[in-house]
Amino acid sequence: MGKALVLEDVRKSYGGREAVKGISFEVDEGEIFGLIGPNGAGKTTTLRMICTLLKVGSGTIKVYGHDVMGESTAVRNVISYLPEDAGAYREMTGRAYLKFVAGFFADGREAEAMAERGIGMSGLDERIDSKVETYSKGMRRRLLIARAMMSRPKLAVMDEITSGLDVMNAYEIREMVGSIARSGTTVLISSHNMYEVESLCSRVAMINHGEIVLSGTPAELKEEAGASNLEEVFVRAVRSQ
């Protein structure tokens, strides 16, 4: 199986302070990979470098074989990024918003088809014709994920997709991400809630203070640590450092 993403010894500093300290990991094609760690660990910084939105400090990042710095256009053509704080135009209906965004990717029939695909993915049913400002947080998140996925990226990168959502909404969002991955897209998500993403991810990398502490399948990590969930694995690893 090919590699969707390869990071090698990636570093990034903000004004002399190192936020990402030489991290390496690989994501296989077709998997849901979780970058998990507490607030301030360096997750968003890492995702933004992967998505060509932030210059790589040092080291290399390749997306489907394309270097994010040297071949940024090729990378942008196969990737989609959903920032944690993403918003949609509140005055538009969900349908109008997806059509508007599809217009950036394609024209005519192709754009129509893309928007229709997004509408289906969102699962918003008749509420797709309500204004975004009337949506709940969960509905807004569904719309944004549909927006990020309707162009059929090869790699979807999503930052803290369930933060701020209640149990049911978070569950539904994870189901949505699961079905997106089954349709063939590779997914990289970040989360500060390790417990929550455990069931969704085929593999995870745990990040703390800009360094990868552990990585593997949730089952492997739990077994090696003799822990019952990933949060426990993380706490033990950090305490024994």
Binding site for ligand ADP (CB under 6 A): 14, 19, 37, 39-45
Q: Kindly tell me which of 44 and 151 has the beta carbon lying closer to Mg ion.
A: 44
Sheet holding 3-14, edge to edge: 17-28, 3-14, 58-63, 66-67
Is residue 185 near Mg ion by the rule CB under 5 A? no
Min. distance of Cβ 27 from ligand ADP in angstroms? Answer: 17
The one segment of 15-23, 35-43, 105-113, 150-158 that binds Mg ion by CB under 5 A: 35-43
Min. distance of Cβ 148 from ligand ADP in angstroms? Answer: 18
Q: How far is CA 35 from the centre of its chain?
A: 9
How many residues touch Mg ion (CB under 5 A)?
2
Instruction: Please answer whether residues 29 and 6 qualify as being in contact, where contact means their C-beta atoms are separated by less than 8 angstroms.
Output: no
Min. distance of Cβ 163 from Mg ion in angstroms? Answer: 9
Report the distance separating Cα 161 and Cα 172, nearest Å: 11
Characterize the bridge pairing of strands 32-36 and 58-63: unpaired
Characterize the bridge pairing of strands 66-67 and 17-28: unpaired
Instruction: Please answer whether residues 177 and 213 qualify as being in contact, where contact means their C-beta atoms are separated by less than 8 angstroms.
Output: no
Q: Which does 45 bind (CB under 5 to 8 A by kind): ligand ADP, Mg ion, none?
A: ligand ADP
**Bridge partners of 61?**
7
Min. distance of Cβ 198 from ligand ADP in angstroms? Answer: 18
Q: Kindly tell me which of 35 and 143 has the beta carbon lying closer to Mg ion.
A: 35
Instruction: Please answer whether residues 121 and 82 qualify as being in contact, where contact means their C-beta atoms are separated by less than 8 angstroms.
Output: no
Closest CA to 52 of 72, 71, 66, 70: 72
Q: Which does 40 bind (CB under 5 to 8 A by kind): ligand ADP, Mg ion, none?
A: ligand ADP
| Residue 178, token pair as written in the block | 């699961």
Characterize the bridge pairing of strands 203-208 and 58-63: unpaired
Min. distance of Cβ 45 from Mg ion in angstroms? Answer: 8
| Residue 134, token pair as written in the block | 């009337």
Q: Which does 19 bind (CB under 5 to 8 A by kind): ligand ADP, Mg ion, none?
A: ligand ADP
Q: Kindly tell me which of 19 and 74 has the beta carbon lying closer to ligand ADP.
A: 19
Q: Kindly tell me which of 55 and 182 has the beta carbon lying closer to ligand ADP.
A: 55
Contacts of 201 (CB under 8 A, 6+ apart): 32, 33, 34, 189, 218
- Give the x/- contact pattern for Mg ion in 43-72, rule: CB under 5 A: xx----------------------------
Q: Kindly tell me which of 46 and 185 has the beta carbon lying closer to ligand ADP.
A: 46
Binding site for Mg ion (CB under 5 A): 43-44
